[in-house]
Structure 1
Amino acid sequence: MPFKTILAVLGIPQTDRDLQTAADISNQVRAHLSVFIVGFAPQPTSRYATLASTWFEQRDWNLKALGETATTVRDKLSKREISFEVDSIYAEVAGATYDIGERALYSDLILMGPDAFQNADLKQQIITGGLIQSERPVLLIPPGPIPTLHPKTVLLAWDSRAQSANAAREALQLLSNAKSVHVAMVDPTATPRQSGDEPGADVATYLARHGIDVTVDALPSAGRTVAQVLQRHANDVAADMIVMGAYGHSRLRELVFGGVTRSMLDEARLPVLMAR
């Protein structure tokens, strides 16, 4: 699907790099950019800490910084030829999850810029609110690579699960515009009810009907983790992006991820588009 509304979640005080990334990406596809700035309340050191004057002083300082950041962001975006809106929220550490999720309902893609990627609290809330609560795709952008929504080569991590298929559909326009798409499977097994006699053939046929140039790569793990195999293969084929399904569940507002998803969230070295 086309990305017409992009939600960028920013933390404070680190906003410059993520804002620049979001503005550049939105401009690439002429999308409306919705910026949501999250400020966190100071963590109380005891049950009585919220009554201390220092806690209120820190809160007032944070609120002022949040307002100044929002003003600065609006000023910077107003100088660019881009459709945008800016909103902000001041929340407890776990309090922004549902607000992010509500805004994500009206977006086609959520951006997690390099600074947000390195902010553990903000990262978890973007994933929980956007990917799990609202089931919107999230583009993780680690520090280093220059992200693009016009990738030339894409690696699609495939294991014949519904989440992988959903990720492929969410990224269908990206895949269609790419010069090559590698459907990568790690230690695939032929099973009649899932991957069929020839693992990867079904999804390759599906993508080919959309005019997508597909290569199916069956990769041995050879003692490495799936995430390590995928990232190494992405490097070998000079991929600009990895597209993958995310696995996990939300329980009492706590996100539990394991395996490949957790590794990618922590160790991604190039942009990863996740969907469920």
Structure 2
Amino acid sequence: MTFRTLLTVTGLNHGEGDLKLAADLCEQIDAHLSVLVVAIAPPLPVGEYAAVVSDTWSKERYDDLKRLKKRTAAVSDFIVGRALSADIANAYPEQGSADEAIGRRARYADITVIGPEMLAGEALKNKVIEGALFSSGKPVLLVPGKARATLKPKRVLVAWDARLESSRAVRESLDMLKGADEVRLVMVDPIEGEHYHGAEPGADAAVYLARHGVKVTVDRLPSSNHSVADVLRQHAVDVAAELMVMGAYGHSRLRERIFGGVTKSMLEDQSLPVLMAR
């Protein structure tokens, strides 16, 4: 799809790095930038000491709201300085509803861009990723530190496993794939058969992409006792890919958290920008 609105989320303690990254991407494709400034409210005190700490809790919330207002003003100044088409909003959700609040905002954007500053955090990072992926129906672009971010990549690796999530990731990135010089459709240990990758793994997906004018090559790779994520990362290096496109959470979030999975591994260690959708 065509990305006309990009969302980026920033916290109280973040700098301008992620904002600049998102703004640069908007200028690259002439898109609108939407910024959400988020602070997560402290939990309500409970138990026998609740009355004692309630004043401290009230002051903490008051201070947070002052900082949220100040941070929103700073973001506004940054946007004015860039002369971008942009909008700014803020949110002060409770811990348990933060991902839903972020997801609601992400529904009004085409993609959520998550830069190195956000990825270096933990609590807010998880809320942004889960909110954007599970509560918006839109993709996310994860950009690790030192990686070159672009929405006009020349070489793209598509991690294909024939699941619904992979299909959605391809659909969401179709305009970028059409503009690329080279797209590698990569499968690791593909299984032949009607309920898996088909009689010729990757052929159906490649034909679909070719009909859209995508210059696609199919790569079938053995894992050779390595994890799927490691095989994908190494192949991305080998083919000098500028972007990886993949489906996210083919298994449940709980299963991925307990047993691990490709999505979990990619979220923990990105070597290049990754577009995820589900």
Q: TM-score range by the shorter chain?
A: over 0.9
User: What is the alpha-carbon distance in structure 2 between the residues aligned to residue 44 and residue 118 of structure 1?
Assistant: 27
* Residue 238 of structure 1: aligned partner: 240
- Aligned pair count? 274
Is the contact made by 2:93 and 2:101 (CA closer than 8 Å) also made in structure 1?
no
Shift, 1:41, TM fit: 2.3
Is the contact made by 2:6 and 2:112 (CA closer than 8 Å) also made in structure 1?
yes
Moved more, 206-215 or 48-57: 48-57
Residue type of the partner of 1:22?
A
Alignment partner of 1:65 out of 64, 67, 72: 67
Is the contact made by 1:158 and 1:164 (CA closer than 8 Å) also made in structure 2?
yes
SS of the residue aligned with 2:39? strand
Shift, 1:128, TM fit: 2.1
* Residue 37 of structure 2: aligned partner: 37
- Percent identical among aligned pairs is 46
User: What is the alpha-carbon distance in structure 1 between the residues aligned to residue 220 and residue 11 of structure 2?
Assistant: 39
1:113 aligned onto 2:122? no
Q: 1:270 to 1:211 in 2, by over 3 A?
A: same
User: What is the alpha-carbon distance in structure 1 between the residues aligned to residue 204 and residue 212 of structure 2?
Assistant: 13
Structure 1 residues not aligned, in runs of 5+ = none
User: What is the alpha-carbon distance in structure 1 between the residues aligned to residue 135 and residue 122 of structure 2?
Assistant: 18
Residue type of the partner of 1:42?
P
Q: Deviations over 1:50-78 (max 9, x none)?
A: 83433333322222111111001111111
Shift, 1:188, TM fit: 1.0
* Residue 273 of structure 1: aligned partner: 275
Structure 2 residues not aligned, in runs of 5+ = none
User: What is the alpha-carbon distance in structure 2 between the residues aligned to residue 102 and residue 21 of structure 1?
Assistant: 22
SS of the residue aligned with 1:96? helix
Matches of residues 145-160 of structure 1 in structure 2 within 5 Å? 145-160=147-162
* Residue 213 of structure 1: aligned partner: 215
Shift, 1:266, TM fit: 1.1
Residue type of the partner of 1:153?
R
Q: Deviations over 1:167-224 (max 9, x none)?
A: 0000001111111001111011211333122101111111111111111111111111
User: What is the alpha-carbon distance in structure 2 between the residues aligned to residue 123 and residue 9 of structure 1?
Assistant: 9
Shift, 1:123, TM fit: 2.1
* Higher helix content, 1 or 2: 2
Is the contact made by 2:32 and 2:85 (CA closer than 8 Å) also made in structure 1?
yes
SS of the residue aligned with 2:166? helix
Q: Deviations over 1:106-163 (max 9, x none)?
A: 1110111111112221222122221112221011111121211011111000011111
* Residue 14 of structure 2: aligned partner: 14
User: What is the alpha-carbon distance in structure 2 between the residues aligned to residue 44 and residue 144 of structure 1?
Assistant: 39
Is the contact made by 1:128 and 1:255 (CA closer than 8 Å) also made in structure 2?
no
1:135 aligned onto 2:137? yes
Is the contact made by 2:256 and 2:264 (CA closer than 8 Å) also made in structure 1?
no
Q: Deviations over 1:75-117 (max 9, x none)?
A: 1111223110011111222332111111111111011111111
Moved more, 176-185 or 116-125: 116-125
User: What is the alpha-carbon distance in structure 1 between the residues aligned to residue 50 and residue 70 of structure 2?
Assistant: 26
* Residue 175 of structure 2: aligned partner: 173
User: What is the alpha-carbon distance in structure 2 between the residues aligned to residue 45 and residue 99 of structure 1?
Assistant: 22
Is the contact made by 1:25 and 1:148 (CA closer than 8 Å) also made in structure 2?
yes
